[in-house]
Structure 1
Amino acid sequence: MTQVALLTRIKVQPGKTEAFLAAFQEVFTQAEKEPGTLLYVLNRSTDDPTLFWVTELYASEEALATHRTSEAMDAARTAFPTSSRNRNTLSAHPSPPKAFRPRK
């Protein structure tokens, strides 16, 4: 099976960032329970507090479909239907290199 990686850029309307973060808390909780969700990370731009990046890695297309159809994702999409999203889907390398942390 081929892993699926997503990198999503989300631009939130000014004044709505705290509500956005609250809505996505349930998404994070759900992602932790999904065995096929290998990585789910939200990053916030240091230059623009309304710009977020979501990095996702799934074990398979089926795992991605399970995540996309979860109640938590439906609720988040309903809460923010007009957020600007740009998504890139990537096929993960079958034998990715080991992750590492930069040394201090």
Structure 2
Amino acid sequence: MSKYTMFGQLKAQPGKRDELAKMMLESSETLQGMEGCIFYILNESVNEPDVLWIMELWESAEAHAASLKDEKVRAVIEQCKPLIAGVSAVPVRPIGGKGL
């Protein structure tokens, strides 16, 4: 399967998770129509008050890489940076299931 999945964790500055989530959700139209993006879902951690999780599914790793070079995406990243204390990502390879 050529699809590309990424699980990302954003740790917000203490007490800033809701502000970061709002900022990201308000700019989510940036991904509407983004070439190769199947889904991009923002989640808040139940157990960690400053953590957001992102689930992404792309047509390919190349489509994901290209999105990170998009001017609008870069602008959102820059806008959110002051609210972010840490970032980690786990690339995974989907092998099947509902929705693929």
Tell whether the structures are fold-level matches, with TM greater than 0.5.
yes
What's the RMSD between the two structures over aligned residues? 2.1
Indicate yes or no: 2:20 matched with 1:42: no
Change (3 A) 1:74 1:23: farther
The answer to whether the Cα contact below 8 Å between 1:4 and 1:91 also exists between their aligned partners in 2 is yes
| 1:69 partner letter | K
Which residue is equivalent to 1:86?
88
Change (3 A) 1:17 1:50: same
1:25-65 deviations in Å (ceiling 9; x for gaps): 35421222114101100100122231110000100122102
Q: How far apart, CA to CA, are the structure 2 residues paired with 1:67 and 1:13?
A: 25
Which residue is equivalent to 2:51?
51
| 2:21 partner letter | L
| 1:84 partner letter | G
Q: Which moved further from structure 2: 43-52 or 20-29?
A: 20-29
Give percent identity, aligned residues only: 25
TM-score, normalised to structure 1, is 0.76
Indicate the structure (1 or 2) with the bigger Cα radius of gyration. Answer: 1
TM-score, normalised to structure 2, is 0.79
Change (3 A) 1:56 1:66: same
Which residue is equivalent to 1:30?
30
